[in-house]
Structure 1
């Protein structure tokens, strides 16, 4: 079928139904009536000779064919949007745009406060939506435009994903004030003799610090494994257990607990944090502006 015979608006409807999982929510997203969305879906079904979506309860579940074509359709819509945006200059002062950023919780508390100061000052109508995205899904979501940027450690992604280092962080040890074995400093022997907390989203497996310790033939004693550093910091404040974590977040999370934040007692390299975006938005004015704001905001972080 030649492209001249296809109504490109149908693909916008297809993407909205796929993303929202509902004709009603798709109509709200596109500001169209439900009959208009249903009519477009009927034309799509005829075009592809496939139901594309099957109702299960209140949800519209995609068929195998729909799942196989969603990525190329999203990429095409994204490229068209970038092309159209390139024609018109991006004006942050009047832009009513939502920027979607993937960031892990340990970085979220560090980055979002200064970023929102930057965004609110120059783009008062813009929105920022931060979410946790599984690393295996980052590349696809950056490609199809459901994510504008992502912030994470160095990841093995394809050459289509561009990146730049935005800051370095150190590893620190957190212990409560008045800890019987730790007062303003900690050596490796004292460190290894303590009971440790490991904060990780994974249910099992060692932390990064355990790999570093193993290089020196050392092993620490993990007594608690929890999901979030904030919870771990609170446990530290009420016990003699200690926690190893990134330095910038440690200073933020422990302000209310008054815990000691001490240098890690071994010489280990700092870890780098990167900003990621897809090559198809490298020259997009809005995306480029947002990337600049992310980088500028980190200059305000101690």
Structure 2
């Protein structure tokens, strides 16, 4: 097989991640016909269709699935070496960074991060990607995001971790005038009450894990995708919700809500920044991660 063009490798990896010619073209900042032409060349090189159109997008063939890990890792290493050779001047940079973050992170951390980064690099762009805890490991490995902030540790090889907030804890948030719960919450009241639950994809599932291990079941009446919708829901209902204390206290200052201790033990947790270790060869990546750490830990 002839030597493969690096640009074709980039198209292959991007198309594999995006599962869409349109999205791949957007991420590569090229036209859709350019991606289609590159795919045609890739098919000739490997003697395989590589991707097949389906109702769920461009699905990789078995050959593509075999090729992907090696090509992805090789491309990441090459990009890391190339980035490491470039100078980075924050004041004059127009670079875009992508950060995976929950809506809680957007409310509690993003203003500080944005203010700190733009004070040093006003021309840079920050794109926030809604965190999906089951996908973030792949996002970091493939370079879809520069970094991710979450409370659940990412254990993948090659991922660096830096704690931003330590010893956070979960509490219960509910209507200040709840009809049956006063200034404290018993386990019986907790079990009997109706609850609002936020999607596990946010990574905030530690309390759920504890309940499951203790064999406790609660009445879940509502499941939502974002924590930010809870204040309005809780103040107009008798539902209970489990949230990190810092954001629950902030919600209680702005709405007729109250914060109570949970009637069972949940270990404290850390909120940490995660990134792929090899990317720190890039001066821009180092600046970005260091800036986030500084913005949060020195605030």
Band of TM-score, shorter chain: 0.7 to 0.9
Cα separation, 2, equivalents of 1:80 and 1:246: 40
Pair 1:91-2:89 in alignment: yes
Structure 2 unaligned blocks of 5 or more? none
| Alignment correspondent of 1:111 | 109
Cα separation, 2, equivalents of 1:235 and 1:114: 27
SS of 1:151's partner is strand
Larger radius of gyration: 1
- Determine if contact 1:18/1:62 at 8 Å carries over to the other structure: yes
Determine which of 151, 154, 157 is the counterpart of 1:153: 151
| Alignment correspondent of 1:162 | 160
| Alignment correspondent of 2:221 | 224
Cα separation, 1, equivalents of 2:59 and 2:267: 47
Determine which of 51, 61, 64 is the counterpart of 1:63: 61
SS of 2:241's partner is strand
Cα 1:279–1:214 change in 2 (3 A) is closer
SS of 1:130's partner is strand
Deviation at 1:133, TM superposition (A): 4.5
Is 273-282 or 15-24 further displaced after alignment?
Answer: 15-24
| Alignment correspondent of 1:8 | 6
Cα 1:259–1:99 change in 2 (3 A) is same
SS of 1:76's partner is helix
Cα separation, 2, equivalents of 1:285 and 1:26: 26
Within-5 A mapping of 1:67-78: 67-78=65-76
TM-score computed with the length of structure 2 as normaliser: 0.79
Deviation at 1:26, TM superposition (A): 4.6
Q: Deviations over 1:262-297 (max 9, x none)?
A: 444566542222221112213322222221222223
Give the count of matched residue pairs.
Answer: 294
Cα 1:15–1:219 change in 2 (3 A) is closer
Q: Deviations over 1:71-121 (max 9, x none)?
A: 322222222121111112222222222222222333332222221222222
Cα separation, 2, equivalents of 1:246 and 1:86: 38
- Determine if contact 1:107/1:249 at 8 Å carries over to the other structure: no
Cα 1:189–1:43 change in 2 (3 A) is closer
SS of 1:45's partner is helix
- Determine if contact 1:233/1:253 at 8 Å carries over to the other structure: yes
Determine which of 250, 253, 258 is the counterpart of 2:251: 253
Q: Deviations over 1:183-216 (max 9, x none)?
A: 6x4254785486242423159xxx644665688x
Q: Over the residues paired in the alignment, what is the CA RMSD in angstroms?
A: 3.5
Deviation at 1:34, TM superposition (A): 5.7
Cα separation, 2, equivalents of 1:88 and 1:35: 30
Within-5 A mapping of 1:124-143: 124-143=122-141
Is 117-126 or 194-203 further displaced after alignment?
Answer: 194-203
| Alignment correspondent of 1:172 | 171
TM-score computed with the length of structure 1 as normaliser: 0.79
Deviation at 1:179, TM superposition (A): 3.9
Pair 1:237-2:232 in alignment: no
Deviation at 1:54, TM superposition (A): 3.6
| Alignment correspondent of 2:142 | 144
SS of 2:109's partner is helix
